[in-house]
Amino acid sequence: MKYDLDRIIDREGTGSVKWEMYRGGSNAGPITPVDTSLASDDPIPMWVADMDFACPKPVLDALSERVRHGIFGYTSASDGYYDAVTGWFKKRHGWDVSKKWITSTPGVVPALHFAVKTWCQPGDKVLIQRPVYYPFFRAITNGGCEIVSSNLTEEDGYYQMDFEDLEKRASDPKVKISLLCSPHNPVGRVWTVDELRQYGEICNHHGVIVIADEIHADLMMPGFTFQPYAMLGREFANNGIVCTAPSKTFNLAGMHLSNLVIPNPDLKQAYDAYMFETGVAGGLNPLALVATEAAYLHGEEWLTQVMKYIHDNYLIMREYLAENLPQLCASELQGTYLAWIDFRELGLNQAALEKMTQLDAKVLFDEGHIFGKEGFGFERINLACPRSVLSLALNRLKMQIEKL
Ligand SMILES: Cc1ncc(COP(=O)(O)O)c(C=O)c1O
């Protein structure tokens, strides 16, 4: 079926974090939802990574049917659920996953916290690559650990891993695990096989366990192919924990369900033991299970249309910037639906940039500096929205930048 992705769906009253609660920078307060006619000047949220598109129809149908059943007692994942999850990995990425390797958690962020608690002692260090998805930081510090960053290098908006630096940092015996963001949020890189292999070899050599956050794996732009970390080879799979989820792919983030793939039985046992100790193991949300199974079985047609739409949004944005705001530079978007834009040429300091975007233009991006100080001067823009909303946001931005 053809999905109407231009349709504006009013999310008011749904408790949407994106629309009703803005974490904000120094000046931002709570926002009111945008007028669906787009006539008012309400703020437009383009920050947190969820989509303003309705989920695939088969997901909505499956949920309705499950709701009609009427009982939502303690629930575990069925064989059908595991078949759907592993079937998706195989079909989408050619990745053979045994159901025995899967541990489900209430989201990837909690899974990262659990990983730090499982494999690190307070005082240990965890390796990351800034600028990077900012909840990585809290997962590390909550475990009493120290953040060690091997920063990505940037040239003309293109980011790469710094292997020499990575080797140096990974060799510190205090570094126990490394959080890999693949594809990389916020810079939009889809790591190549060679990059992942080099990264993995360094971690393996120094006994650093790799936690690969692959939540954006299904969101590839044309011409890019996702490489599952565990498919690099046995030695990588044996030293890796892969975090997957249907949440970004099918706009199911509020369902809070993710599937970790842990091929090494010793690592899996340790992880599951931690989950058990903390009371997290022991049943999953029945609606999340149903939605995930339906999405993985029947959601691909929707995903194809959504990714095409988002790619077009990206091209339209690039063209708009080139014509109207040449001072801004968008990084190449290889994967994810989050564009990474360089505003540094405007010469604004952090507070002034934040004021211009949030208070004056009333477009709410994720400020680059929250991904680490290396992101200063950048903004992360969520492109998973109807085109009219994107156009409005760009026009507002242009008006304010022209006033500078
Ligand atoms: C890299 C990355 N990991 C994890 C998450 C969130 O995971 P969850 O909602 O499953 O906790 C996001 C959301 O934007 C993300 O970008």
Please tell me the pTM assigned to this model: 0.96
Residue 201 CA from chain centroid, whole number: 24
CA distance linking residue 404 with residue 394, whole number of Å: 16
Q: Are 25 and 359 in contact (CB under 8 A)?
A: no
Q: What is the pLDDT of residue 283?
A: 87
CA distance linking residue 200 with residue 96, whole number of Å: 20
Q: In this structure, are 43 and 81 located in the same domain?
A: no
Q: In this structure, are 229 and 87 located in the same domain?
A: yes
Q: Which residues are bridge partners to 177 per DSSP?
A: 126, 209
Per the structure, the count of domains in the chain is 2
| Number of CB atoms found within 10 A of residue 199's CB | 25
CA distance linking residue 3 with residue 55, whole number of Å: 10
Q: In this structure, are 214 and 185 located in the same domain?
A: yes
Query: How many A from CA of 258 to the centre of ligand 1?
Result: 10
- Examine residue 4 and state whether it is found in any structural domain, yes or no: no
- Examine residue 174 and state whether it is found in any structural domain, yes or no: yes
Q: In this structure, are 307 and 290 located in the same domain?
A: no
Q: In this structure, are 38 and 148 located in the same domain?
A: no
Q: What is the pLDDT of residue 19?
A: 82
- Which residues neighbour 191 within 8 Å (Cβ) at sequence distance 6 or greater? 161, 182, 183, 184, 199, 227
Instruction: For ligand 1, say whether the CB of 325 is within 6 Å of any of its atoms.
Output: no
Instruction: For ligand 1, say whether the CB of 185 is within 6 Å of any of its atoms.
Output: yes
Q: What is the pLDDT of residue 29?
A: 41
Report in angstroms the alpha-carbon separations of 126 from 96, 134, 136, 260, 296.
29, 14, 10, 19, 32
- Examine residue 149 and state whether it is found in any structural domain, yes or no: yes
Instruction: For ligand 1, say whether the CB of 181 is within 6 Å of any of its atoms.
Output: yes
Per-residue confidence in pLDDT tens, the chain, 404 aa = 999 999 999 888 888 888 876 544 333 344 444 444 444 567 889 999 999 999 999 999 999 999 999 999 999 999 999 999 999 999 999 999 999 999 999 999 999 999 999 999 999 999 999 999 999 999 999 999 999 999 999 999 999 999 999 999 999 999 999 999 999 999 999 999 999 999 999 999 999 999 999 999 999 999 999 999 999 999 999 999 999 999 999 999 999 999 999 999 999 999 999 999 988 877 899 999 999 999 999 999 999 999 999 999 999 999 999 999 999 999 999 999 999 999 999 999 999 998 999 888 989 999 999 999 999 999 999 999 999 999 999 999 999 999 99
Q: What is the pLDDT of residue 238?
A: 98
Give the domain extent around 343.
17-56+300-403
Residue nearest to atom 10 of ligand 1 (CA): 107
Q: In this structure, are 262 and 344 located in the same domain?
A: no
Of ligand 1's atoms, which has the minimum distance to the CA of residue 247? Answer: 10
- Examine residue 7 and state whether it is found in any structural domain, yes or no: no
Q: Which residues of 55-79 are buried (b: 16+ CB within 10 A; e: fewer)?
A: bbebbeebbeebeeeeeeeebebee
Report in angstroms the alpha-carbon separations of 66 from 2, 57, 249, 318, 329.
25, 14, 21, 42, 46
Q: What is the pLDDT of residue 41?
A: 65
Q: In this structure, are 282 and 309 located in the same domain?
A: no
Short-list 223, 127, 248, CA closest to 177 = 127
CA distance linking residue 397 with residue 212, whole number of Å: 35
Of ligand 1's atoms, which has the minimum distance to the CA of residue 257? Answer: 10
Instruction: For ligand 1, say whether the CB of 108 is within 6 Å of any of its atoms.
Output: yes
CA distance linking residue 214 with residue 161, whole number of Å: 17
Q: What is the pLDDT of residue 16?
A: 86
Report in angstroms the alpha-carbon separations of 130 from 137, 149, 160, 184.
10, 6, 11, 10
Query: How many A from CA of 242 to the centre of ligand 1?
Result: 13
Instruction: For ligand 1, say whether the CB of 259 is within 6 Å of any of its atoms.
Output: no
Q: In this structure, are 100 and 43 located in the same domain?
A: no
Q: Are 339 and 20 in contact (CB under 8 A)?
A: no
Radius of gyration of the chain (CA): 21
CATH number, domain containing residue 32 = 3.90.1150.10
CA distance linking residue 397 with residue 391, whole number of Å: 10
Query: How many A from CA of 50 to the centre of ligand 1?
Result: 10
The H-or-E segment that residue 177 falls in is: strand 175-181
List alpha helices for 56-208, DSSP H.
57-69, 79-93, 108-119, 135-142, 163-170, 193-205
